[in-house]
Amino acid sequence: MYERMLNKKVIPSCEEIEEYVGEENYERLEKLETILSERYDLNRELKFPFGNSYGWGYKYSHRTKHLCYLFFEKDAITVTIQIGTNELEIFNRKFDSFLPKTQELWENRYLCGNGGGWIHYRILSDRELSDVLRLIAIKKMPVMV
């Protein structure tokens, strides 16, 4: 159902990305970028990372600090974010304030480091987008450029 853009040989255009993810999800992507641009010295790169199963997406960074990946899916977008060992204390203090979906994704994360891990968050609502933005803020405190 949520197929990814898996043809590594064809670099997608903005128009193709918008059509693929759908209007509502493209608006969420733009909202995410607008907010990140307000909070960070944002760098966006179109990439095909992690082998052949993740597909095309954007890598977002603040200067040299990686913030997250956003992958294009048919009628959806998925953000992949790592919460590392250094962010765990802050994350754990805020854990109960996250949506049940966010909590479940964390409980089932791909473990790495000393208790940290990666989550793949398919954003299907504006409330979920808000949680993703809060996760990114834990990863890197906004600098308000």
Compute the average pLDDT of residues 140-145.
83
Helix (H/G/I), strand (E/B), else coil: 40? coil
Q: Looking at residue 51, what is its pLDDT?
A: 83
Q: What are 60-104's pLDDT values in tens digits? A: 999 999 999 999 999 999 999 999 999 999 999 999 999 999 999
**pLDDT surpasses 80 at 144:** no
Quick one: how many helices (H) and strands (E) in the chain?
Answer: 5, 6
Sign of CA dihedral 91, 95, 101, 106: positive
Q: What are 17-45's pLDDT values in tens digits? A: 999 999 999 999 999 999 999 999 999 99
Task: Compute the distance between CA of residue 138 and CA of residue 101 in angstroms, rounded to an integer.
Answer: 17
DSSP secondary structure string, 70-127?
EEEETTEEEEEEEE-GGGHHHHHHHGGGS-HHHHHHHHT-EEETTTEEEEEEEE-SHH
pTM summary value: 0.94
Say which residue the tokens 């990114």 belong to.
136
**pLDDT surpasses 80 at 145:** no
Band (9; pLDDT cuts 50, 70, 90): very high
Task: Compute the distance between CA of residue 85 and CA of residue 9 in angstroms, rounded to an integer.
Answer: 36
**pLDDT surpasses 70 at 132:** yes
Q: Which of 91, 86, 81 lies closest to 118 in space, CA to CA?
A: 81
